[in-house]
Amino acid sequence: MTGHTLNKPQWLRKTLLSGRDFRTIHEMMEKHNLHTVCREAACPNRWECGAKKTATFLISGPYCTRRCRFCNIAGKPPVQVDPGEPERVAQLASDMGLTYVVVTSVTRDDLPDGGAEMFSRTIQALRKKISGVRVEVLIPDFKGDQNALEVIVSASPDVINHNVETVPRLYPAVRPGADYARSIGIIRRVAVMDSRIVTKSGMMLGMSEQESEVETVLADLVDAGCRLFTMGQYLAPSKNHWPVSRYVPPEEFDAWQKLALEAGFSRAVAGPFVRSSFNAGEMFFSTLFNLP
């Protein structure tokens, strides 16, 4: 049975809020020639985030050089990097009144630094434009390039997030081009390079993972120094994507959240609609005074 033939349970039937604010943000993004991962990845929370007048900026173009089977972002030939993008992101974030900004990117294996310099420049532009701004970056793996990671760490974002997404066994099929050990290594290196930066990761359930495999991922992340953790339900964007094996009920997510906290994360949030960037600011600030 493929995932798109499964009937969605009641807990996944989300009531959509008015789309006016989401459309307004989308229009602002288009005006500034910018993109959001909310729209490109078809996030189920995009209307709610729009109502809060916030969004996650997607830099370095809308097209990814990889074709992960869970992701809705288009795998097309990448566009040329726009040198003026960091300043436009900062200006729009300022216009939106944001004090916590989440920035991510598509994977750019075609670039020598994987797009690391664009992250650095965007962080710098945000700090210059918005006094006291907090910045979270959700980064790709840069093919394990240590120099690329150092570029981002040197820019001193408040949070560096790199999602493991799923369990090691499923990487070859679900995340071709990625490597589980490499992803864990990114978290570990950030924790060692600058302990002031909060490390974060996340994964999805419903891809045919086993409980013992998920427990191993939690242990590996904590051992690597990961502080924040998110877990949500995988939703296949189309019938051509990796199928949903099952819909995980809310009470199971509650149990996983408790287990993640017991495993050693400073903060863990799990639920059907949880995504790594959803309510990211609230997650950070609620944890801030409990971090060593």
Domain that holds residue 162: 17-288
Give dist(CA 158, CA 195) in Å, integer.
Answer: 11
Residue type, 33: N
Closest C-alpha among 23, 32, 27 to residue 50:
23
Q: Is residue 91 part of a domain?
A: yes
Tell me the residue type at 124: Q
Enter the tokens of residue 178: 């990625």
Report if residue 31 sits inside a domain.
yes
Given CA atoms 90, 64, 43, 22 in this order, what sign does their dihedral have?
positive
Amino acid, single-letter form, for residue 28: M
Q: Is 4 within the bounds of a domain?
A: no
What is the pLDDT, as a whole number, of residue 165?
95
Q: Mapped to the 3 state alphabet, what secondary structure does 68-105 carry?
A: CCCCCCCCCCCCCCCCCHHHHHHHHHHHCCCCEEEEEE
Considering the domain boundaries, does residue 174 fall inside one?
Answer: yes
Relative to beta strand 100-105, strand 228-233 is unpaired
Closest among 286, 276, 284 to 133, alpha carbons compared: 284
Q: Which residues contact 269 (CB under 8 A, 6 or more apart)?
A: 229, 230, 231, 257, 279, 283
Residue 12 lies in a domain: no
Q: Is the residue at 8 inside a domain?
A: no
166 DSSP 8-state letter? S
CA–CA separation, 181 vs 198, rounded Å? 20
Q: Determine the residue type at 149.
A: L
pTM, entire model = 0.88
Count of C-beta atoms within a 10 Å radius of residue 55? 28
Report the CATH number that the domain containing residue 94 is assigned in CATH.
Answer: 3.20.20.70
The answer to the question of residue 9 being in a domain is no
Query: Cα-flanking dihedrals φ and ψ of residue 57, to 5°?
Result: -70, 135
Return the SS3 of 36.
strand
| pLDDT tens across the length of the chain (292 residues) | 344 457 777 777 665 545 555 566 667 777 767 776 544 444 454 545 444 455 789 999 888 888 777 777 766 778 889 999 999 999 999 998 999 999 999 889 999 999 999 999 999 999 999 999 999 999 999 999 999 999 999 999 999 999 999 999 999 999 988 999 999 999 999 999 999 999 999 999 999 999 999 999 999 999 999 999 999 999 887 888 889 999 999 999 999 999 999 999 999 999 998 888 878 888 998 876 555 5
Domain count, the chain: 1
Phi-psi map region of 173: left, alpha, beta (phi>0 left; psi -120 to 50 alpha): alpha
Helices and strands counted in the chain (H then E) = 11, 8
Q: What does the pLDDT read at residue 4?
A: 47
- The verdict on residue 115 lying in a domain is yes
Contact in structure between 278 and 94 (CB atoms under 8 Å): no
pLDDT score recorded for residue 147: 97
Please say whether the beta carbons of 229 and 271 come within 8 A: no
Distance from C-alpha of 111 to C-alpha of 168, rounded to nearest angstrom: 26
